[in-house]
Every structure is written in C-alpha cells, then in structure tokens.
C-alpha cells in the first residue's frame, strides 16, 4: 500500500486566503470524496497536489519521498475540468498513445468504447470525451488519481460504468474525487472531506454536511 500525504497547504489570491493550512491524505485502495461549494477551493487544491499550480506553502510526500516545488509528479494523474485530449486523432490512436500493453487492450475492448474507435476525438460528444478521459486515467500506471468533475456530461449508463470501474480500479490506486453530484461521490467514497472557508474538514455522516451548511 502506498500513501500520499499533503500538509500545510496555503494559497492566497489577491490578498484573500483560499486554502488555510490544509492537510489531506490518501492511500491506494481507497476513494476520498472532496466536497464543497463552488469557489471553495476544491479544484485549486487538486491542481496544487498535481503540481500545475503553485501554492504559498505545500508539503507533499508519497511514501517516504518528499516532493518540493510545483513540478508535476509521475505517480499522480489529474483530470482537469477542461479536456486534455488531442481532437484531431482517432479514439483508437488516443488510447494507444496514452496506454500500453494489457491496459490498452482492456480499454479498446470495453463495450462503451468499441463503437467509437474510428471516431476522431473532436467529433465525440462532451460526455463521450469525458468518459474516454476518465478511462485513460483509471487504466494508467499512476498510483494516485485526482478526478475533478469526472461525471460531468455523462449519460446515466456511462456514469454507472465509470462508477463501477472506479470501485474496481481503486484496488491499485488512491483516488481523490470531487463532483457536483455529491450523492455519487458519497456512494463511491471510503472517506468524505469538506472544503469549508479554506479549511478541510472530515465528515462522518450527512449530518456533518448539514451542520457546515453544505446541505440544507
């Protein structure tokens, strides 16, 4: 089992503190749900973990190795809200570009993917493209995944398939997930954290979400 540990994260925008000494950990074999209102700093935190955004303060460790600065880390993959795929190439070529060996063959044979293999990525619907992006990360070799709005635009069928694959793939990965569909996040997660006024709070049940004003 591997463990990602993030500590002492501070981030300020225009003199306003967005993240206040945030601590978060995630181990392979679990899904950590990250909830919070729009603008609470969830995406900011994920970008800081990934290394695409600089923090005022950050301590990041995977197992015994400490990472400094804001450079990206091979063992962490991040699903941003904006698409990262090349639109001019086919779905089949995209899968072979991002994945190799057994994992490439598995994704190529998925019933949800096979009808799309000859399509160019740019011709896919938003939901189809989002599904492909999530699959590429779930079957990557990275030990930790940061999924920002993975269910956005997905059909009910795709949502069900992706949820099932998240549960299966977490055996090999630690996954931090945030999505507006909080019910789906809660059902998938082994632990729930709530971003509240720049602080990250552990939530034990739905009453905790109500007490902090996330649910009414």
pLDDT tens string 125-177: 999 999 999 999 999 999 999 999 999 999 999 999 999 999 999 999 999 99
Q: Does 87 fall in a domain?
A: no
What is the pLDDT confidence band of residue 21, given thresholds at 50, 70 and 90?
A: very high
User: Which of these, 203, 212, 200, 208, lies nearest to 23 by C-alpha position?
Assistant: 200
Q: Does 15 fall in a domain?
A: yes
Q: Does 111 fall in a domain?
A: no
Total of domains in the chain? 1
pLDDT score of 67: 83
pLDDT score of 70: 67
- In which domain, by residue range, is 157 found? 3-82+144-211
Q: Does 104 fall in a domain?
A: no
CATH number (domain holding residue 198): 3.40.50.300
The pLDDT tens digits of the residues spanning 52-87 come to: 999 998 899 999 899 876 667 889 999 999 999 999
Q: Does 67 fall in a domain?
A: yes
């Amino acid at each position: 089992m591997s463990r990602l540990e993030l500590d002492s994260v501070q981030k300020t925008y225009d003199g306003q503190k967005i993240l206040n000494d945030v601590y978060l950990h995630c181990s392979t074999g679990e899904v950590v749900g990250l909830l919070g209102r729009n603008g609470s700093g969830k995406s900011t935190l994920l970008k800081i973990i990934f290394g695409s955004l600089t923090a005022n303060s950050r301590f990041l460790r995977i197992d015994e190795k400490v990472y400094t600065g804001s450079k990206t880390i091979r063992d962490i993959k991040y699903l941003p809200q904006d698409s990262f795929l090349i639109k001019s190439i086919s779905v089949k070529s995209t899968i072979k570009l991002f994945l190799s060996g057994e994992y490439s063959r598995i994704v190529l044979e998925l019933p949800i993917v096979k009808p799309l293999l000859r399509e160019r990525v740019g011709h896919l619907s938003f939901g189809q493209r989002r599904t492909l992006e999530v699959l590429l990360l779930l079957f990557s070799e990275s030990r930790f995944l940061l999924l920002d709005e993975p269910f956005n635009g997905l059909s009910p069928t795709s949502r069900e398939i992706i949820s099932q694959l998240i549960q299966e793939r977490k055996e090999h990965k630690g996954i931090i997930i945030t999505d507006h569909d909080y019910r789906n996040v809660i059902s998938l997660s082994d632990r729930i954290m709530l971003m509240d006024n720049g602080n990250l709070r552990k939530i034990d049940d739905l009453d905790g979400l109500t007490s902090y004003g996330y649910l009414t």
